[in-house]
């Protein structure tokens, strides 16, 4: 259980604008929770009755999640809770069979990525897969639960990529700890090399910082948080790392991706 004393609170004057964003943030999270519950308890069960083919149902579910997350982002933007800009959105929409790797500064990063990616099978924690708000959505969309068995997870991810689905992975494992540097986990690199899938690098910046690790939702920044999402180069993993032993290639790919992301964030 998280130590409450370690949670981060932003100390700033409660101006009318900040107070309003506190209210709209609460409304946004309530909207997200209720929407997820309706999808899980109403929409997806009805779809299972109408669409019997599991593969077709999964594709419809993935598109539905994509549209729902996009609606949620626009809902927050229209209310003035957040703002954002995305550079390279067309590239995100067009990729197939690709591992998308991004840094993870905020709670909303997953929502932003899924809102602009199509035909995506996310890797989710087992606890999220059993969550009453998200469990039904995850099962219907054929997302990949991380059960803690690395070999099974890599195999499932590689199979999804070979079928043309995209994988969105945050190799830090969780949101970036404030003031700390985290070594990227190599799981994505093993998956990419096993399936010979390209890796697309994405960077995410949030200014002022918001919804960080250890920070409760009601710790509202003094100014409206602004997300900047940039889509960068695609790495041809087969050409650049395919001739090396898997362990060495995976280690070098993970290190190179982390170096590139950190370099882009410093520009």
Q: Residue 191's pLDDT is what?
A: 93
CATH number of the CATH domain containing 184: 3.40.1130
Query: Does residue 2 sit within a domain?
Result: no
Query: Does residue 111 sit within a domain?
Result: yes
Query: Does residue 8 sit within a domain?
Result: no
Q: CB within 8 A of 175, min separation 6: which ones?
A: 104, 105, 106, 107, 109, 212, 213
Query: Does residue 6 sit within a domain?
Result: no
Q: Helical H runs in the chain?
A: 16-38, 44-50, 54-78, 89-94, 109-116, 126-129, 135-140, 150-162, 187-195, 237-241, 246-266
Q: Residue 4's pLDDT is what?
A: 40
Tokens read off for 242: 């395919």
Structural domain containing residue 57: 14-266
Tokens read off for 191: 């998956």
Q: Residue 2's pLDDT is what?
A: 43
Q: Residue 133's pLDDT is what?
A: 62
The number of folded domains in the chain is 1
**What SS3 class is residue 132?**
coil
Q: Residue 3's pLDDT is what?
A: 44
Q: Residue 120's pLDDT is what?
A: 86
DSSP 21-71: HHHHHHHHHHHHHHHHHHIIIIIHHHHHHH---HHHHHHHHHHHHHHHHHH
Q: Residue 111's pLDDT is what?
A: 92
Query: Does residue 117 sit within a domain?
Result: yes
**What SS3 class is residue 232?**
strand
* pTM summary value: 0.90
Q: Residue 78's pLDDT is what?
A: 95
> Mean pLDDT for each 10-residue chunk of the chain (267 residues)?
54 90 95 86 87 86 90 95 95 92 94 90 75 70 81 89 90 84 89 93 95 90 95 92 85 95 90
Query: Does residue 5 sit within a domain?
Result: no
Torsion angles phi and psi, residue 7, rounded to 5: -70, 150
Q: Which helix (H) or strand (E) holds 87?
A: strand 82-87
Query: Does residue 163 sit within a domain?
Result: yes
Q: Residue 7's pLDDT is what?
A: 63
């Amino acid at each position: 259980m998280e130590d409450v004393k370690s949670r981060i609170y932003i100390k700033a004057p409660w101006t009318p604008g900040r107070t309003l964003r506190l209210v709209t943030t609460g409304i946004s999270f309530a909207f997200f929770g209720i929407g997820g519950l309706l999808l899980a308890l109403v929409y997806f069960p009805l779809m299972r009755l109408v669409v019997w083919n599991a593969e077709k149902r999964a594709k419809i579910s993935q598109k539905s999640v994509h549209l729902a997350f996009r609606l949620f982002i626009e809902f927050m933007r229209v209310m003035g809770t957040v703002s954002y800009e995305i550079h390279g959105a067309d590239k995100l929409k067009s990729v197939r069979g690709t591992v998308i790797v991004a840094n993870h500064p905020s709670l909303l990063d997953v929502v932003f990525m899924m809102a602009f990616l199509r035909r995506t099978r996310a890797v989710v924690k087992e606890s999220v897969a059993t969550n009453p708000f998200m469990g039904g959505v995850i099962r219907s969309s054929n997302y990949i639960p991380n059960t803690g068995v690395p070999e099974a997870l890599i195999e499932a991810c590689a199979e999804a990529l070979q079928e043309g689905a995209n994988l969105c992975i945050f190799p830090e494992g969780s949101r970036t700890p404030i003031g700390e540097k985290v070594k990227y986990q190599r799981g994505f690199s093993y998956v990419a090399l096993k399936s010979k899938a390209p890796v697309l690098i994405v960077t995410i910046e949030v200014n002022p910082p918001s919804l960080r690790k250890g920070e409760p939702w009601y710790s509202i920044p003094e100014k409206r948080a602004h997300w900047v999402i940039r889509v960068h180069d695609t790495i041809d993993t087969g050409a650049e790392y395919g001739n090396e032993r898997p362990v060495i290639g995976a280690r070098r790919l993970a290190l190179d991706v982390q170096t590139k992301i950190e370099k882009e964030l410093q520009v």
